[in-house]
Amino acid sequence: KDRIGHCHCKDASKKVDGSGYHWEPMGKGIIDWVGQFRAFKRDGYRYAVSLETHWRGAGSAEESTRQSWAGMKAELQEAGAL
């Protein structure tokens, strides 16, 4: 916890065939971001968290980013970190 100065946030899920992962909008994948954001808050983390916009499933980069930001914001709020 004393070595983290920046966090990149993105979400993913396992491919059905088990061959790897694919990007998801924030809040729709397997990463427990609510738990991570709660841990950051508990540990006094006060540095940057940035949304990584690798997921492009909403038809355009802009709409995909909007949906991922909405998911990230909801997770931050649920964690009490926003």
Looking at the domain assignment, is residue 68 inside a domain?
yes
Looking at the domain assignment, is residue 10 inside a domain?
yes
Query: What's the total number of domains in the chain?
Result: 1
pLDDT in tens, the chain (82 residues): 678 899 999 999 999 999 999 999 999 999 999 999 999 999 999 999 999 999 999 999 999 999 999 999 999 999 999 8
What is the predicted pLDDT for the residue at 3? 86
* Cα–Cα distance, 53 to 8 (Å, whole number): 10
Domain range for 46 is 6-78
Please give the model's pTM, rounded to 2 decimal places: 0.90
Looking at the domain assignment, is residue 1 inside a domain?
no
What is the predicted pLDDT for the residue at 64? 98
What is the predicted pLDDT for the residue at 1? 66
**Cβ burial 55-76 (10 Å sphere, 16+ → b, else e):** beeeeeeeebbebbeebbeebb
Q: Hey, which residues does 50 pair with through a beta bridge?
A: 8
